[in-house]
Every structure is written in C-alpha cells, then in structure tokens.
C-alpha cells in the first residue's frame, strides 16, 4: 500500500509539471486513504508538498521566462493573505463535531472529505470541457477589473486554506481570460501563485499540528522528482488531451470519495 502511495506522490508532481495544476487534488486523498493521515492534517501536509513542489517548478519556469511576476504578485496578494488567515485563525476553531442531522453526527473529518470530493468534481469539469479555440495574446495590463480579480483571489485563498488545494484549475482560467496571459505563461504563473498560497498556508499551520517531518519530506522529494518528469513529458505529449484524461480520473476519484464517505 505504501508503494502505491509513493507512486501517487510522484503523480502529484507530474501533474503539476504537465498542466500547472491538479497535484493538490490528488494529495489529500493519497494522504487520507493510502497513508491513513487524519483529513485536517492531510490538508496541512498537502499545502507543504504542493507548495514546495510548485516552488521548484516555478524556478524552472522563471528561467524560461514563463512567469509574469506582476500578475503573480498582484493576483496572489489577496489569496496569500486569505489562505494564511484561514489556516491561522479559522481552521483551528472548527469543532470536531459540527452538527447532528437525524441522529447522524457531521464531524470535521467527514465535512472536509465531502467538500474535497465536491471540489474534485468541479475541478474535473474544468479540466474535461473543451478549451476555447483562440488563446488571448494580450499581456498583463491595467484594463482588467480589479475588484473581480480581488474577489477571485480571496475565493482561491479560501479553497486553498480550507481544503489544502492549490487551486490551479481556478487560477489558470482567471490568468488567461481575465488577465489575458498566454496559456504557457498562465501555467507558469499559476505554479508561482500556488507555491505562495500553499507555503504561506502551511506557515499558518505551524503550532497547530504535530508534523511528521521525516514522512512529509520524503513524500515532498518524490513529488519534486515528479515535477521534473512532468516538465519533460510536457514537451512530448499534447497538453490538452492529457489534461482531459486527468480530468476524467479526478471525476472518478471525486465520486469514489463521495460514495465512501456517505456509505460509511
């Protein structure tokens, strides 16, 4: 079972290297169902693994000129502040038992996994649906709607903070269609924002959880190796077809988690 977990950890990095997102969607289920980590702690581990892996990928993309620093800093500011605040102040006060419905107790763990499954379903639809035929070719400018971007950044921060997911499937469409970045630069910029969000979110967790650093660093190293594999494969494989195939996999996993949690 652990061997399967290590293989899945490599897929986290590979997906980030190939399509600039999706890795965090795998991390929490891998932590919970394969390694037996508590769901809330799994979201914390996910932040570190995805954050560090994305940071490595960002350095590689920056060297190729595939990151818009202005977009990353402007768009990431709202989400970074939100994710840090969520992990530092909101997550620690979530009660273990949230409510009871007809004798059924809704626990913190149950709600976390149900919300994560819903997130996976939404992400999978974003990955599966056809991309627009023409990519915007206009670089980052001052003509976008600042309030809309601010709200989008806060939304991504809440998702990342509550569920430990980097939000790449939310970020890339925003960077392409709101900020008008070319797709390749949107993928690179997305990794930079995911790195900032995730690592600041993990920083907000320090002191709230007991971290198994040996385990966490070993999974992170495997995921980092995966991102280099993903970057190499991205030159050989058509990204849109791969993204769609990964979307179907995420859709299946989302339904599996819903079935498993509701049936138990």
Q: What is the pLDDT of residues 168-223, one digit of tens each?
A: 667 777 777 777 788 778 878 888 888 888 898 899 888 888 899 999 999 999 98
pLDDT digits (tens, 9 = 90+) for 10-21: 888 887 777 656
Tens-place pLDDT, residues 43-99: 899 889 988 988 887 887 888 888 888 878 777 788 888 988 989 898 888 888 888
**What count of residues does the chain have?**
264
Q: Give the contacts of 225 (CB within 8 A, at least 6 positions apart).
A: 10, 13
pLDDT above 60: residue 42: yes
For residue 134, what pLDDT is reported? 46
């Amino acid at each position: 079972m652990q061997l399967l977990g290590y293989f899945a950890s490599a897929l986290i990095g590979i997906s980030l290297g190939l399509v600039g997102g999706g890795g965090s969607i795998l991390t929490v289920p891998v932590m919970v169902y394969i390694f037996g980590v508590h769901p809330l702690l799994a979201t914390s581990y996910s932040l570190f693994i995805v954050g560090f892996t994305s940071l490595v990928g960002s350095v590689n993309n920056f060297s190729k000129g595939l990151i818009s620093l202005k977009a990353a800093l402007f768009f990431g500011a709202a989400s970074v502040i939100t994710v840090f605040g969520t992990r530092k102040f909101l997550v620690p006060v979530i009660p273990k038992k949230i409510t009871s419905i007809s004798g059924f107790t809704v626990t913190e763990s149950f709600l976390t996994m149900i919300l994560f499954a819903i997130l996976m379903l939404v992400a999978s639809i974003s990955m599966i649906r056809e991309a627009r035929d023409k990519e915007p070719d206009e670089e980052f400018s001052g003509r976008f709607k600042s309030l809309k971007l601010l709200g989008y950044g806060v939304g991504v921060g809440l998702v990342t903070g509550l569920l430990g997911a980097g939000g790449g499937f939310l970020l890339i469409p925003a960077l392409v269609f709101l900020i008008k970045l070319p797709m390749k630069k949107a993928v690179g910029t997305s990794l930079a924002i995911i790195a900032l969000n995730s690592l600041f979110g993990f920083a907000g967790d320090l002191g709230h959880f007991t971290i198994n650093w040996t385990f966490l660093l070993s999974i992170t190293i495997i995921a980092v190796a995966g991102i280099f594999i993903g970057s190499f494969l991205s030159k050989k494989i058509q990204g849109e077809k791969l993204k769609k195939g990964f979307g179907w996999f995420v859709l299946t996993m989302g339904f599996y988690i819903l079935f498993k949690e509701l049936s138990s």
